[in-house]
Amino acid sequence: MLTYLIRRVLLMVPTLLGITLVVFVVMASSPGGISAQSLVEGQNLDPEAKQEIEAYYNRLYGLDDPPYMQYLRWLNNVSPIGFVFDEENQMSGFSFSKGADFGRSFRYGRPVTDLLAERVPITVLLNVLS
């Protein structure tokens, strides 16, 4: 029984990596991208201004990097185990207990962990009541 549990826990790692890779590929291949979606619809901007704003968002969120670098950076940020970077974005070490960083919300401009913390109690309450 113990070997069965150990095997299941070890199989969980490649399964989670596979799921994250599939989700990342689907999101990365969506048309437009976040920089185009971040532009307010209905704004009458000339094409040059739109390109400047899109370039700004691409630099800000690292979307101008190759897809494999975007995936590895995201995986490092959400994983509790990984490389730690300082304020100048220089690698300062490796940690087995760093906090997960889900980034900032594109829509609200706030940390995603704060948004999740606001919504989890209501979700748990609805699940308990149902």
Higher pLDDT, 42 or 10: 10
pTM above the 0.85 mark?
Answer: no
pLDDT digits (tens, 9 = 90+) for 16-25: 999 999 988 8
Sequence-ordered list of residues with C-beta below 8 angstroms from that of 10, at least 6 positions apart, any chain? none
pLDDT digits (tens, 9 = 90+) for 57-76: 888 878 888 888 889 888 88
The pLDDT of residue 11 is above 70:
yes
Backbone angles phi, psi at 30, to 5 degrees: -70, 145
